[in-house]
Amino acid sequence: MKATGIVKKILANYEGETPGVKGKLCAMLMHGKLGGSGKMIILPVDQGFEHGPARSFAVNPASYDPHYHYKLAIDAGLNAYAAPLGPLEAGADTFAGQIPTILKVNSANSLMSDTAGKNQAVTASVDDALRLGCAAIGFTIYPGSDTALDMMEEIVEMRREAAAKGVATVIWSYPRGEALTKAGETAMDVTAYAAHMAALLGAHVIKVKLCTDHLEQPEAKKAFEAGGIDISTQAARVAECVRSAFDGRRLIVFSGGASKGTDAVYDDARAIRDGGGGGSIIGRNSFQRPREEALEMLGKLIEIYKGRD
């Protein structure tokens, strides 16, 4: 498969990486209906770990089956499918080679007490990713948590091992924890800082949430105002996150968040596209819908990222 000029330009930004890592990034960027465009839509299904099975899947009972998610990602023509170890193992043989996969190697759960601190347990390894033929590992950090330094040290080691074995790294950088207010978790300054931290840690693909125009840190607010940084629209805020990811030298995708109406999902995608973002990583807003409705919605998102809507 010949890489397009757009994809070759993206890969050229990863100057310190091995051919193995670049090959895995190329595989994701060239796969599916957005293949070669430089944009990606990824299906992430780690919500069962995070929120529990009923909260994640009861609204669409077919989605209790891990094969459902493989099929949805493949039939929709997405770039990749991300999940923890168990779901990937449950379909790894049946769907081998049909879509690039991302092994989520750490997870949290909603049964932890509020006093435990915001943290995630390492639940899989780089060798698991190799065994399952994954294109990348996925790892969450919580900037703002009292345990954030431990999580950063964990991903530095795992990322080093993954790169040495030709596997790419996706970092979910989700601000939360003791140092932040609830509004601060999606604040403009905090989200851009989280994206930058992920880039500094060596992420090949960065995942953050869409942010608001709230500025959490007084010193950051001064810098935004002195620099005349536009944060008035969602597209402008996406552009600032892209700039914070080494001025666009690292791929950055944005999560879909909690379930919402289709018009809101489409508006988010247009803002990501117009702000220069790398695409969407959209879970609950796809697999919690009936299959045909999800396929229709994902199809329209692909058209939006192609600039046709």
How confident is the model over 89-104, as pLDDT tens digits? 999 999 999 999 999 9
Type of residue at 101:
T
- pLDDT score, position 61: 97
| Tens of pLDDT, residues 245-304 | 999 999 999 997 777 899 999 999 999 999 999 999 999 999 999 999 999 999 999 999
Residues linked to residue 107 through DSSP beta bridges, in sequence order: 121
Q: Is the pLDDT of residue 122 over 90?
A: yes
Give 47-56's long-range contacts (Cβ < 8 A, gap of 24+): 47/283, 47/284, 48/87, 49/84, 49/107, 49/108, 49/109, 49/123, 50/107, 50/108, 50/109, 50/110, 51/110, 52/109, 52/110, 56/284, 56/288
Q: Is the pLDDT of residue 113 over 90?
A: no
Which pLDDT tens digit goes with each residue over 5-23? 999 999 999 999 999 999 9
Percent of the chain topping pLDDT 90: 95
Q: Model confidence at 1, in pLDDT bands (50, 70, 90)?
A: confident
Radius of gyration for the chain, computed over Cα atoms and rounded to the nearest angstrom = 18
Question: SS3 of 176, please?
Answer: coil
> Considering 22, 39, 104, 207, which one is annotated as catalytic?
207
Average pLDDT for 137-148: 97
CB 240 within 8 A of CB 195: no
Question: What is the β-pairing status of strands 121-122 and 136-141?
Answer: unpaired
Please tell me the distance from the alpha carbon of residue 28 to that of residue 31, in angstroms, as a whole number. 5
Average pLDDT over residues 194-210: 98
Spatial contact of 274 and 267, defined as CB atoms under 8 Å apart: no
Active site residue 207: yes
Tell me what pLDDT residue 225 has: 97
**Cα-flanking dihedrals φ and ψ of residue 139, to 5°?**
-145, 135
The pLDDT of residue 120 is 94
For the entire predicted model, the pTM comes to 0.97
